Amino acid sequence: MGAVQFLDLAATSAVVTATSGRKAKIDLLAGALRRLDPDEIAAGSAFLAGELRQRQTGVGYASLRDRPAPAAEATLTVGAVDAAIAEISTVGGTGSQARRRDLLGALFGAATVDEQRLLIGLFGGELRQGAQAGLLTDAIAKAAEVPVTSVRRALLLSGDLKQVAVAALTRGASALAEMRLRVGTPLTPMLAQSAPDVGAALLATGTPATVDVKIDGIRIQVHRSGDEVAVFSRSLDDITARMPEVVAAVRGLPVRDIVLDGEAMTLDGTGRPRPFQETSSRAATRDSGGPTLTPFFFDLLHSGGADLIDEPGRVRWAALADALPRELIVGRAVADTEEQAAAAFAAALAAGQEGVVIKASEAPYDVGRRGSAWVKVKPRHTLDLVVLAVEWGHGRRRGWLSNLHLGARDSQTGGFVMLGKTFKGLTDELLRWQTQRFKELATGDNGWVVEVRPEQVVEVAFDGVQTSPRYPGGVALRFARVLRYRDDKPASEADTIETVKSLGSPLAPPA
């Protein structure tokens, strides 16, 4: 089997985009995966998922707009494209902008019309072909002739679709079975659903339930093996160098190996939480002279050589209490009744915290899933949405990008559904920041509306959900206003249109 032409993947991508049936999409993707050489699987599976292997390339919208004419004949292979993008992503130093432009021009100049179209989608992050992790997971299973459950579990444990594709397609089910939690390799974290009150949360989790204080901090996953400690973000980025206080706290534990899930936040002199923006700013830099980050852990995934993710929550949390001092564990209580849960909720708010997360005591750690086993409750209605476009301001806001077009994630298509617009809650500082941010994400500007890549997550508060024929989802938010930008969350973790619709119309206003 020879090297696969990049045009083959471009053609598959185009056909998948035009195909509506899930099974047909999976068959197309599986066929493309089978044709890949072993050394092309990592890059090829990423391309089919609409992604690049390289997280940062330095290629922006303006660079994609100014490109050479397409080639008449296809000469690029999957491996050659991956190598070219890898070279582009490592350019740095004096003259790097010109060098990157030359390399990008050479790549696009060697690409046909269809190949250029795929490259633009990959660099721009705008491929909407439905070949995201769910579809590609099924396609990998079909191509490798292994159970899809084996592929899914391997993906959850490794957090790397490309690695799973290589293992499945080169060594089969036995290679997938060998994939276990590895200290030092981050897992996609378990996530929580939302509920309007503790009563609704308990209906989902059952009782008795554990009620954790919901900390308004930065999600962290900490791995220790011997004296080596690594800290990972919600998006699995290595942020160890930015978290010296967290490293020191975990290195001081009397353990050899451990994997912890928790959050880090900044506190004031009385021990109350500082605003999230201060925590986010501190976590984004290596400035150890800034506010101190304090870790609080709420789950234990591995300890003493044993994986705990399949154990019930009550077992994991008991092991956590044995392994860590009390001051490193999030505040938590057990609730048998709604009254007890409400009391814990009130106590969390009184302490300046964001709310609570109510957890089913018998549930395993559901890696990478947002199920009903964990349910968060806040004192106001909030959603994490994605900015789809921004309008130029007028009057006092002239020259700034102001009115945000808000979208919820569509879990069925992998796209986003618009819910409305807002310019409420934006301070001058946020206006300055978002103007620069959305210029970087821009894909088009008609002088009034700037279309952007759907990557930036924003947390909004709102008074209710109402039916609306104006928007494609049939619903809109009432009185939406910006609370903060969530740079710690990728768009793939934004709230879904299904979640929005489940909130009802209208919601009762927050107390």
Domain boundaries, the chain: 6-177, 191-377, 382-502
Q: Does domain 6-177 have CATH number 1.10.1060.10?
A: no
Q: Residue 77 half-sphere exposure, CB side, CA atoms within 13 Å?
A: 12
Q: Contact at 8 Å (CB) between 198 and 338?
A: yes
Quickly tell me which residue has 């992998």 as its tokens: 414
pLDDT, the chain, mean: 88
Closest CA to 125 of 232, 215, 52: 52
Quickly tell me which residue has 């605003």 as its tokens: 275
Quickly tell me which residue has 């001051």 as its tokens: 327
Both tokens of 466, joined, read 């109402």
Query: 282 to each of 217, 289, 508, how far by Cα in Å?
Result: 11, 9, 36
pLDDT > 70 fraction of the chain, expressed in percent and rounded: 94
Residues involved in catalysis: 214
Q: Contact at 8 Å (CB) between 403 and 472?
A: no
Question: What is the bridge-based pairing of β-strands 475-478 and 464-467?
Answer: antiparallel
Both tokens of 352, joined, read 């300046």
Dist CA 39 CA 80 (whole Å): 11
Tens of pLDDT, residue by residue over 88-113, are: 888 888 888 889 889 999 999 999 99
Dist CA 10 CA 105 (whole Å): 19
Q: Which pLDDT belongs to residue 253?
A: 95
Q: Which pLDDT belongs to residue 503?
A: 74
Q: Which amino acid is at 115?
A: E
Q: Tell me which fold the domain 191-377 belongs to.
A: D-amino Acid Aminotransferase; Chain A, domain 1 (3.30.470)
Q: Residue 392 half-sphere exposure, CB side, CA atoms within 13 Å?
A: 12
One DSSP character per residue, 166-184 reads HHHHHHTHHHHHT----TT
Dist CA 90 CA 100 (whole Å): 9
Q: Contact at 8 Å (CB) between 453 and 436?
A: no
Q: Which pLDDT belongs to residue 456?
A: 95
Q: Which pLDDT belongs to residue 337?
A: 96
Q: Tell me which fold the domain 382-502 belongs to.
A: OB fold (Dihydrolipoamide Acetyltransferase, E2P) (2.40.50)
Query: 260 to each of 156, 160, 184, 213, 240, how far by Cα in Å?
Result: 16, 20, 11, 17, 14
Dist CA 34 CA 17 (whole Å): 19
Q: Which amino acid is at 217?
A: G
Dist CA 97 CA 171 (whole Å): 41
Q: Taken in order 57, 404, 189, 370, is the CA torsion positive or negative?
A: negative
| Secondary structure class of 306 (helix, strand, coil) | strand
6-177 matches 191-377 in fold: no
Both tokens of 472, joined, read 């494609």
Q: What share of the chain is helix, strand, coil (3-state, %, to 5)?
A: 40, 25, 35
| Secondary structure class of 159 (helix, strand, coil) | coil
Dist CA 368 CA 365 (whole Å): 9
Low pLDDT (below 50) residues in the chain: 128-131, 505-511
Residues in the chain: 511
Dist CA 2 CA 271 (whole Å): 62
| Secondary structure class of 68 (helix, strand, coil) | coil
Query: 484 to each of 6, 447, 477, 490, 494, how far by Cα in Å?
Result: 41, 26, 17, 14, 14
**Strand locations in 172-238 (E):** 191-195, 209-214, 218-225, 228-232
Dist CA 70 CA 143 (whole Å): 32
One DSSP character per residue, 489-503 reads S-GGGSPBHHHHHHT
| Secondary structure class of 209 (helix, strand, coil) | strand
pTM over 0.75: no
